[in-house]
Amino acid sequence: MISLVFATNNPNKQHEVQAKVGSAFKILSLTDINCTHDIAETGLTLNENASIKSHYIFNNYQINCFGDDTGLEIEALNNQPGVYSARYSGSRDSEKNIDLVLQKLDGIGNRKARFRTVISLIINKQEYIFEGVVNGLIRQQRSGTGGFGYDAVFEPNGYNITFAEMDLDEKNKISHRGLAMQKLITFLQQL
C-alpha cells in the first residue's frame, strides 16, 4: 500500500481526503511524521503554495507527499479572494472571511464563483500537479452547518444547497478537492 504525507495542518482537509481515498492509500498527517512546522504559504498562486508545501515535506523528510492549496474565485471581485481565501479578512477566521465576501458582494447581482484546488504530489522524486474546479455561486447568506471555510455560502451549479448542507460523500463527489484528489488517485493507481 502506498503511504503519502498530506502537508496540511487543517484537520477538516485531512478528514475529507481520507474519506475520499478510503482504504486505497494510507494518508499520513504531519503529526504522524513529527512535523510541527507551520509551512508558510508565501506563493502568489495556488500552484506555488501547493508546491511549497510538498517540497518542504519532501526536502526535510524524504518521503512521498502532497500539498494542496484552494481558492475561492468570485467573478465580480476580480477572482478574489483567490490565493488569499484562508486569510481574506486579515485573519484565518472563516466567519470573518465570509462576512467580508458578503459585504463586498452586497448589492451585486453577479454572484458567480468557483472553487479551485491545486495538488502538488511528489512521488519518487518527481512532482505532478492536479487541479479540480467546481463552479457555482455565492449565496446572500449562510446555509448549513457542515463543511468549513466558505462552504456555507457556496452553492455548486446544478444544486439548490450549499456545500455546508451536503454530507461528506456527496460533497467529495463534486467538490474541487474531491475532483483533484480523484485525479491524484487515478494517477497513483497507474503506477
Rounded Cα distance between 66 and 189, Å, is: 16
CB atoms within 10 A of CB 91: 11
Burial class (CB in 10 A: 0-12, 13-18, 19+), 37: exposed
Rounded Cα distance between 69 and 154, Å, is: 17
Segments of 87-148 assigned E as strands? 112-123, 126-138
Q: Any idea how long the chain is? A: 191
69 tagged catalytic: yes
Whole-angstrom CA distances from 124 to 18, 26, 101 are 22, 16, 40
Rounded Cα distance between 33 and 6, Å, is: 10
From the candidates 69, 93, 99, 106, which is the catalytic residue?
A: 69
Residues annotated as catalytic are: 69
